[in-house]
Amino acid sequence: MSLIRRAIKKKEEKKAMSYMAGSNFIIYGSKSKSSIVASLTEYDEPGYVIELTPAGASAHLEDEYSNFISYPIQNLAELEGVVNSIHDDLTIIKRLSVIIDRLEKNKNDAAAKREYENAKKAIEAKGDDWEEVVSMARAGKLPFKAVVLAECAIVSNWISERVEETMKIDVVGVDKKNMGMDWSLLKIEQRKFFMRLAGLPCTTIFATSDITPAEKQGLTSIIPNFGQGSFGRELVEMVGNVFYSNFEDGKYVVYLNADHRKLLTKQKFKRIKDNKALDEKIDITGDPSRLWAYIDEIRRLEVIATGE
C-alpha cells in the first residue's frame, strides 16, 4: 500500500472521495496559505487534502480539519518517492476506470479482461484493497480532492543542492567556467519535478512564500518564490491561476486580479456572459473557504478557461 494511502486509512477506513479535476493553483504570500488549502477539505463535498510539507508547520490544522493530512517530508528523495506513489495510485484508478467502461460496453472484450486481471494482480501485490480501488474507479472518484506542495522554495533549494552535487560545484550560478550549464541543469530538474506534480489528474496546489522588490535587485512587483533560476516564471504561465494571500487592515484577503505592476496574479477564467473581470480581492477573514466558493461562483456564471 502506498504511503499516502496508509496516511488516509489512519484517518478513516475505506472513505473514497471525489475531487476537483483540471484545476491547478499557485497560492503565495506570508499569511493563511495552509488554512486556505485545508478549508478545501470541507467545501462542497467533503474530501481529503494532502499537504506535502518540508517545514511541517501546518500539522496543527489536522485537529481543526478532520480530512486534512499534513505529510512531513525530510528531503528531495523522499518527496520524489511520495509524488511517484501518488502518481502511480491515480494512474491505476484512472486506467482501471477506462477498462471497466470497456467491459460494461462489451463484456466479451478479451483485451480488457486481461488488463482487468493484470491490474488486480498489481494492486493486490501492493497490498491495496482491490474492491476499494474498483469502487473508486467505477464511480470516477479518487481517494482525495487535492495534493498540495507547501514551501516550494525549500523544494527548489533541494533541487539546487542536487545539481551542485552532480556538477561538483559549490553554488549554482557562481562558477562561470561551466558556461551556464548549471543553470540549464537546474531548470531541467525543476521542470521534471514540478511538471510531474502539476500533471496529476486531480487539483494540485503550489503554496509558497513571496519575494518583494526589496529582496531582489531589479524586481518591480511581488512574485511567488520558487527559488533560484527562471523556472518559476514558466510554472506560473503553465498553472495560470495565481493568487496572493495577505493580511492587511486587520483582514485576511486573497488577491485574484491585482495590478500586475505591483503584484503578480493570474487567472485562466474569463466571464463569457458579461465579460466582467474578476474581483481584485476577496475577504476570507474567519472563513478561508470563501476562495473556493468564489471560484465555484465564477464557474456557475459560465466561466471558461481561456485557450480551452
pLDDT, residue 182, reads 87
| 68 neighbors 172 (Cβ within 8 angstroms) | no
pLDDT, residue 14, reads 33
Checking if the pLDDT of 113 tops 90, the result is yes
- Res. 53 pLDDT band, cuts 50 70 90: very high
- In this structure, the dihedral spanned by the alpha carbons of residues 73, 189, 194 and 257, taken in order and rounded to 10 degrees, is 120
At 42 the three-state DSSP class reads: coil
| 110 neighbors 130 (Cβ within 8 angstroms) | no
Checking if the pLDDT of 171 tops 90, the result is no
Burial of 165 (0-12, 13-18, 19+ CB in 10 A): exposed
pLDDT, residue 74, reads 94
Residues in the chain: 308
Which of 232, 49, 82 minimizes the C-alpha distance to 152? 232
- Res. 296 pLDDT band, cuts 50 70 90: confident
pLDDT, tens digit, for every residue of 125-158?
A: 888 889 989 998 988 788 888 999 999 999 999 9
Question: All 3 cell numbers of residue 51?
Answer: 499537504
Choice among 146-150, 156-160, 276-280, 294-298 with the minimum mean pLDDT:
276-280
Mean pLDDT for 103-120 is: 92
Determine how many CB atoms are found less than 10 A away from the CB of residue 14. Answer: 11
> Which residue in this structure is represented by grid cell 470497456?
102
pLDDT, residue 21, reads 40
Backbone angles phi, psi at 195, to 5 degrees: -70, -35
Determine how many CB atoms are found less than 10 A away from the CB of residue 270. Answer: 16
Q: Which residues contact 101 (CB under 8 A, 6 or more apart)?
A: none
The CA distance from 6 to 258, in Å, is 41
pLDDT, residue 32, reads 85
Q: What angle do CA 161, 162, 168 make, to 5 degrees?
A: 85
Mean pLDDT for 5-27 is: 54
- Quick one: what percent of the chain has pLDDT higher than 90? 44
| 25 neighbors 234 (Cβ within 8 angstroms) | no
Q: Which residues contact 306 (CB under 8 A, 6 or more apart)?
A: 268, 269, 270
According to DSSP, the residues that pair with 49 across neighbouring strands are 68, 146
Mean pLDDT for 292-308 is: 66
Higher pLDDT, 143 or 38: 38
pLDDT, residue 247, reads 92
Question: All 3 cell numbers of residue 38?
Answer: 485545508
